[in-house]
Amino acid sequence: MSLWTQFGSWTAATLRSSRMEREMDEEMRFHIEARAADLAKEGLTPQAALRQARLEFGGIETAKGDCRDAVGVSFLETLLQDVRHGIRAMVRTPAFTATAIVVLALGIGANTAIFSVVDAVLLRPLAYRDSGRLVTILMNGDGPVAPANYIDWRDQSQSFTSMGAADYWSPNLTGVDSPEHIAGLKVTQSLFPMLGIEPMLGRLFVEGEDKDGADREVILSYRLWQRRFSSDRTVLGKPIVLDGNAYIVVGVMPQGFQFAPFWATKSELWVPNALGSRLHNRGGNSLRIFARMKDGVSLQQARAEIASVTGRLEQQYPGTNRNVVVTSLKEKVVGPIETPLLVLLGAVAFVLLITCANVAHMLLARAASRQKEVALRAALGARRGRIIRQFLTESILLGGLGGVAGLVLAVGATRALIAMSPANIPRVQTVSIDFRAALFLFSATILTSVGFGLAPALQASAVNVNDTLKEGGRGASEGFRRSRLRSLLVVSEFALALMLLVGAGLMIRTFAALENVDPGFNPHNVVSMIVSVAGSKEAEAGHREVFYRQLIERVQSLPGVQAAGGINHLPLAGDLWGWPFLIEGRPKPRPGESPIAVYRMVTPGYFKSMQLPLVRGRDLTEADNETAPGVVVINEQAAKQYWPGEDPIGKRICFGDDTTNPTAWLTIIGIAKDAKQDSWTDKATPEAYLAAFQNHDYLGDSGTEASNHMSYITLVARTAGDPATAAAAMKEAAWSFDRNLAISQVVTMDGVVAEANAQPRFEMLLLTIFAAVALVLASVGIYGVISYSASRRTHEIGVRMSLGASRSDVLVLVMRQGVWLAVAGSVIGIAGALVISRLMAKLLYGVQPTDPATFAAMAVALGAVALVACYVPARRAMQINPTAALRCE
Amino acid sequence: MEKQLDLLQGTLDMLILKAISLSPLHGYGILLRIQQISKERLEIQQGSLYPALYRLEHHGWITSEWGESENNRRARYYRLTAAGKRQLQSETERWNQMSAVISGILRATPEEL
């Protein structure tokens, strides 16, 4: 019978139930009276016949109840009955009920909170139209693309309905009360229509606006529009000043719109990308490419086509188009965070399993004390299925209350999670307890309730009516099956707890290893900020150098500042640019095989401020100016890699291919210690520090378009005391030159380091919390089992003691059981952890997934907790007075 | 009178189906019919008859309607449906196979092994 017909039958039965009751009545009365009439014919008096007929018929109410059960009429009634009964049982044992609800709320709440994060971050499609068809095309799956390559891919491929490109651009917004450095993008006209999101106000860019000269338009994000333009609708059509140029506002995007999703995620404005003269550039990689696949084209097909297009182009232009990777946009956004989140989800599911086991314990213990009640009901004719159903109703009721409390907890936990989550988790701001999370909570509650309620229900219902009632509920011996089930629960709790402990232990080791990483520089008491001159009078060619020098001098002279310097991009926090170079006296390398180095531009004072030591050679000085010969400092890795067995100092290198220009050749004057560049766990890669005051682009007097790219400097200062105080003084110092300077990203190096390690810290913190909860629950579980079984064995212990067993014998007797459970659980746990730790290998650093020390330490810790948990009841058993124990029987 | 036998679990449904396959009957009539055919050797818990009838009706194997009894009282008559006929047939086959197998086992002598 299908569920549906059953349901239909219930409803129909409920509707016609009064008629059914009447008919049932009549039918049974007819039966009894007909039987009585027959009996009367055999010679009984009418009264005797009626009594005899009733007796033969048996319990009318039982028969009616069975009839109702047969057609399902009583489903709702029985449910109500069971719920009433369950509530009474819960009120009778408030301590039990409260404990169970708290434990369940923790388990269910934590799971719902983590699920809501996983759902919002991993499971949901990106917030663009039909976002499953969007892809991104990048060099090596990660790096930017040259404009000419983009144009070729767009024109030579058939798999895509459209393709668009974005460049990072962070202009200064001036002309309004305070200047601000704003993150934004330059996008080709095709890009926004491809995303399928309509602007809230105004329009998107139209064809032709990404041509040179027609590109002075801007679309604002909702937040920027709110923050800087007070949500003023009349801003449409008006000009705003970006980097000193007027841009007309043509549109405002709706609230919640974010682009790009995996990089430049904080972009707040978008302007047309006029590729202009760069159209034929195959060298300057700066574009991120986005495309929408045609319907019916699979990712494999798109990849195959791009592979063949780029293969052709690589032949044509050697050294370009190598390893171009098409990735689904969603994969690109959530891929890096997938493993950590799934590990957390798994861990929190373990916590829920342990919760279930724990509540099952409690219910088993309670079921034992309810044996008499169950036996009585069974004697009165309740069937086993009926008793199981009642127990399950009770556990669902308990689980439901736990779920409601869990919901409250989940709302709070979700807020806490958002607050403490690392900034690099995409979409984390969209996390909330919504319908899907509620649905998850509901299913988790039901599954949990059945999970912890089924075993106790089955066991409770399997009573032997006669024995239980006769024994008067003394229950001297606990059934073997019941104790076996409880032991099984403890063993699985221990196994799960150990797996969580090992996971947390590995994360703690990882974090400790990360803390011990030497970044090369000393991050304590260093403060940094970006000072942008774009749009101010300091931006003028020839003036920047003077300004930068004066600014650094003034900062240096501030009280509390020990050293100050400038750099183009701060390590770990800023952008990273790789640049190929040539080494004097060596043959021109084949395309794609040029030596390459991370390219940083620094002022004298940078190394001192960061306390980044020079291993050899000298630091940059004020004397290394525009008129002096070009110099460069390289890092140890560059020296090792490109001058193996040679002394690089005094050798000359040239960035770019303008080898005939004598000023393009730079002499290596020093070797700096390797410093962390992009991420905390990077291996060292070659790096070159150029003198900013020798670089025309940087000083804005080269007259090229690139001059605006470098219209800012990252000030770095080492402070004697609190970096925050110094930061305020530094800002004032800068503004004392010009109020139009935009100052942004005021950070301490300690903060940057913490941010770089925020994700492992987050993972460590959550795993440690889960493991701690698991440890507590598991020890409560083993405590419960041992003290329960010790109390059940009071009589036995009394007998043993009166026969001469010493107190220590009793201690051993009771503890042995607990120790066996803990050992069995630990062995299974270690086996499980060996499998599971491998899954989290990606999260680990500086520690093997099978690290024996962590495994051993956690097993020992768990064992110690188990010993303590068993010792308490064992000690109590030891104190048993044999005479009293025997007498109380 | 021979000793009365307790009804084997699950056989009541089959007996009811058989009883009303001969002619439509009310509940008490079914009881009498079974007792009559079995020569009073089967003990049927009278009260358990009705849940079985409700269950069979719920499965769609029998249907019921109110009619007049022999002594002019309103009584509920049960009748086999087509599905009930098939059910009775398959149950009968199953029972015959089962009883043949079991009695075969019980008749087994050491020589046959």
Sorted by where each begins, the domain ranges of chain B are 5-112
H helices of A214-269, in order, are 222-229
| Nearest CB to B45 within list A35, A58, A71 | A58
- SS3 track for A818-864: HHHHHHHHHHHHHHHHHHHHHHCHHHCCCCCCCCHHHHHHHHHHHHH
The answer to whether A147 touches A284, Cβ cutoff 8 Å, is: yes
Confidence at A77, pLDDT banded by 50, 70, 90: low
Nearest to A27 among B27, B58, B71 (CB): B27
- Say if A66 is an interface residue toward chain B (CB within 8 Å): yes
A62:B76 CB<8 A: no
Q: What pLDDT, on the 0 to 100 scale, is given for residue B1?
A: 38
With CA atoms as reference, the chain B residue closest to A6 would be B58
Q: Which of B28, B45, B58 lies nearest to residue A34, judging by beta carbons?
A: B28
Contact B47 A60 (CB under 8 A): yes
Distance from CA of B32 to the nearest CA of A (A): 10
Average pLDDT over residues A346-351: 92
Q: Is A11 on the interface with B (CB under 8 A)?
A: no
Of the candidates A722, A723, A714, the one whose C-alpha atom is nearest the C-alpha of residue A742 is A714
Which residue on chain B is closest to A12 by alpha carbon? B58
What would the pLDDT profile of A201-233 be if each residue is shown by its tens digit?
Answer: 999 998 877 777 777 899 999 999 998 899 999
Least confident of A407-411, A583-587, A678-682, B74-78: A678-682
pLDDT 10s digits, A614-647: 999 999 998 998 888 999 999 999 999 999 999 9
Of A261-270, A416-425, A476-485, A861-870, the least confident: A476-485
B59 contacts in A (CB within 8 Å)? 1
Chain A positions touching B76 (Cβ under 8 A) are 23, 26-27, 30
The predicted structure's pLDDT at residue A568? 87
- Nearest-neighbour CA in chain A from B77: distance (Å): 10
- Crossing angle, helix A94-118 and helix A329-369, to 10 degrees? 170
Question: Per-residue pLDDT for B3 more than 60?
Answer: no
The sign of the CA dihedral A744, A748, A750, A754 is negative
Chains A and B: how many Cβ contacts under 8 Å?
Answer: 68
pLDDT at residue B38 tops 50: yes
Percent of chain A with pLDDT over 70: 92
The verdict on A55 touching B (C-beta cutoff 8 Å) is no
Q: Do A71 and B54 touch (CB under 8 A)?
A: yes
Interatomic CA distance for residues A720 and A163, integer angstroms: 52
The predicted model gives A649-666 an average pLDDT of 86
Contact A553, A561 (CB under 8 A): no
Say if the Cβ atoms of A71 and B58 lie within 8 Å: yes
Contact B51/A35, CB-based, under 8 Å? no
The per-residue pLDDT for range A229-269, each reduced to its tens digit, is 999 999 999 999 888 889 999 999 999 899 989 888 889 99
The answer, yes or no, to whether residue A705 has pLDDT greater than 50, is no
The CA-to-CA distance between both ends of chain A, in Å, stands at: 52
Residue A432 one-letter amino acid:
S
Q: What is the mean pLDDT of residues A524-546?
A: 82
Flag if B58 and A60 touch (Cβ within 8 Å). no
What pLDDT is attached to residue A142? 81
Q: B5-112 is classed in which CATH architecture?
A: Orthogonal Bundle (1.10)
**Structural tokens at position A622:** 């004020």
Angle (CA) A147 A149 A151, round 5°: 70
Partner A contacted by B89 (CB < 8 A): no
The B residues from 22 to 61 touching A (CB cutoff 8 Å) are 26-28, 31, 45-52, 54-55, 57-59
A-interface mutation test, from B4, B13, B50, B78, most A Cβ less than 10 A away: B50
Residue A583: CB atoms within 10 Å? 17
Greater pLDDT, B41 or A289: A289
DSSP code for A145: B
Mean pLDDT over all residues of chain A?
Answer: 86
More confident residue, A579 or A17: A579
Chain A: residue whose CA lies nearest to B27: A31
CA neighbor of A668 nearest in space, from A651, A685, A655, A645: A651
Does position A66 have pLDDT exceeding 60, yes or no?
A: yes
| pLDDT, tens digit, 9 for 90 and up, residues A35-65 | 898 888 888 888 999 998 888 888 887 888 7
The residue behind tokens 């004072």 is: A605
At A74 the pLDDT is 53
Taking residues A828-853, report their average pLDDT.
91
Q: Per the CB < 8 Å rule, is A35 touching B45? A: no
Across the interface, which of B46, B58, B73 has its CB nearest the CB of A56?
Answer: B46
Interchain CB distance below 8 Å, A67 and B26: no
- ∠ at Cα A566 (A599, A666), nearest 5°? 40
Q: Please tell me the pTM assigned to this model.
A: 0.75
Torsion sign, CA atoms A108, A112, A113, A114? positive
